[in-house]
Amino acid sequence: MIIVSDTSPINNFAAINHLHLLQQLYGTVLIPEAVYRELTDPNFPVAGAIEVQTFIWIQTCPVQDRTLVEALSNELDIGEAEAIALALEMKADQVLIDERRGRMVAASLNLRYTGILGILVEAKSQRLISAVKPLLDALINQAGFWVAEPLYKRVLQLVDEN
C-alpha cells in the first residue's frame, strides 16, 4: 500500500504521542520534501520534527513534476501541493490530508484521501485503539486540532461512542 501524507496528520498525531497509529495502519508513509521542511523548520518548531528525521517508516521523497506543484500552489500551500503531486506520481492508494481545500483538489484528481478523523475511525475498526473520543479530545485540547461540533458528534456516533 502506498500512502502519502501532508503535514497535519504527522504533526497532530505526534503532538498526542500516537504517531505510531500511522505505521500500524499503513506501514511506510511517504512525505514530500515540502512537508519535511514544514515539520523540521528550526524557526517554527512543531511536534513531529524529530520523528520525521529518525523514524525509518516515514520516508521523504522528492516530487518530480514541479509544473504540477506550481499549478497546485495557486490554490494550496506548498506542503499540500507537493503531497498531492507526490500521491499522483507514486500512484498512491491514499493521501492523508485534513484541509478542506486540499481534499477537494485531491478528489478532483481522483485521489483517495482520508484525514485525522478517518484515521481514528479506521484505527478503532482495526482494534488498534479502544476508543476514539479520548484521542479526539486530546487532539483538540493538546494539539489545537479544530473539529466542528456537528462533525465531532457524527464521528463519535459512527464509532458507537455517543
* Domain at 42, CATH number: 3.40.50.1010
Residues 44 and 86 in one domain: yes
pTM of the predicted protein model = 0.94
Residue 131 pLDDT > 90, yes or no? yes
Residues 135 and 70 in one domain: no
Residue 162 pLDDT > 90, yes or no? no
Residues 50 and 81 in one domain: yes
Mean pLDDT of the chain: 96
User: Helix, strand or coil for residue 114?
Assistant: strand
Residues 134 and 104 in one domain: no
Q: How far is it, in rounded angstroms, from Cα 76 to Cα 69?
A: 9
2-60 pLDDT, tens digit each: 999 999 999 999 999 999 999 999 999 999 999 999 999 988 889 999 999 999 999 99
Tell me which residue range forms the domain holding 61. Answer: 3-116
